[in-house]
Amino acid sequence: MFRFSATLCVATIGNCNLPDSTVQGLHFPLLKQLGLELVSISECSLHSLIASCPALECLLISHGFGFRCLRINSLTLRSFAVKNYRKGNDQLKELIVENAPCLQRLLHVDFDYGLHISVVSAPKLESIGCLSDGFYISKEDDLSRLVFGSTVIQGLRVDRLTTVVHTVKNLAVNMKLLSLDTVIELMRCFPCLEKMYIESESKKEKSVRGRRHRNLTKCPNIRLKTIVFECYEGIKSDIEFASFFVLNATVLELMTLQIGARDYNEKFLAEQRRKLQLENKASRGARFHFTTDRCARGVWDVHHVRDLDLTDPFV
């Protein structure tokens, strides 16, 4: 690292311990992409390492330990992602985005432990994911928390909505149970949302139907242009959820629904088009695409720091 530090543009450091004495001597003037995978590093040294990369644009921290808090202060960083599979006192618990004027993508690509994220200053933030209501966890305390000013999102629940974030256009969510009320609250928090990627692991014939938001019917404030629905099975809850946007999203351009291969036949597709009331769609130009292919990048698709250098990280 010392030998090539002056010319490196991309680096992945993994499966090692980075002692303070080594980190203090590092400087990467041209490094744009940095990945830390299975690395033990102190909190002080982690901040020092990031500061030693004045041109850094993409940062991936995968399964790191030895630090509990990370403060992001970078004038050049555009994409940041953290993923973890281990629980313990020495893993990242708190992320504070203090000053990131170029940050566009903030990805928490594992959601089975409680990471607390506070965004103080990120005026260009466009993409957030994956928010989850805790399909893989049993305690609410383990839900991740996202804070913008005085607005708090615990898991997928908007606890307080006092600050709206107009810059966010892309959002990925993973839901235990499809809940229209939950999604509508998120749209209130991110009123300029254009793309939403939705995955629901639990398939129960039950859905929260948005009773608290009946006044949103035909509401022009639903600005979604693209909706991607992973694991669509065409059951009652799926239909109720998707048809709300069919009938109310006035600027919708494309809704993609991923179905199982066994369901991909003309009879099933014709039945779904009828039940979704596509002939009554609110957006005249909307297209509806059924596919058996995966149509959104999942939490396990971020393998390398270069995977972060995408305009839309969920495509």
Domain of 221 in residue numbering reads as 169-309
Phi-psi region of 218 (alpha: psi -120 to 50; beta: other; left: phi over 0): left
Nearest to 119 by CA among 149, 89, 94: 149
Q: Number of structural domains, the chain?
A: 1
Q: Domain for residue 83, yes or no?
A: no
pTM for the model stands at 0.90
Q: Domain for residue 286, yes or no?
A: yes
Q: Domain for residue 215, yes or no?
A: yes
Q: What is the DSSP letter of 155?
A: T
Q: Domain for residue 185, yes or no?
A: yes
Q: Domain for residue 196, yes or no?
A: yes
Please give the pLDDT value at position 2. 79
* Ranges under pLDDT 70 in the chain: 85-88, 109-113, 135-141, 201-220, 298-300
Phi-psi region of 32 (alpha: psi -120 to 50; beta: other; left: phi over 0): alpha
Give residue-wise pLDDT tens across range 88-97: 678 888 999 9
Q: Domain for residue 158, yes or no?
A: no
Please give the pLDDT value at position 54. 97
Please give the pLDDT value at position 197. 95
> Are the CB atoms for 239 and 206 separated by under 8 Å?
no
Nearest to 29 by CA among 45, 8, 59, 44: 8
Phi-psi region of 56 (alpha: psi -120 to 50; beta: other; left: phi over 0): beta
User: What is the Cα–Cα distance from 245 to 194, expressed in whole angstroms?
Assistant: 13
Please give the pLDDT value at position 140. 65
Interhelix angle for 180-189 vs 236-248, to 10°?
A: 40
Please give the pLDDT value at position 83. 86
Q: Domain for residue 103, yes or no?
A: no
Neighbours of 214 (CB within 10 A): 8
Q: Domain for residue 77, yes or no?
A: no
Tokens representing 212 are 């608290």
Interhelix angle for 266-275 vs 236-248, to 10°?
A: 60
User: What is the Cα–Cα distance from 270 to 213, expressed in whole angstroms?
Assistant: 30
Give residue-wise pLDDT tens across range 152-163: 999 899 987 888
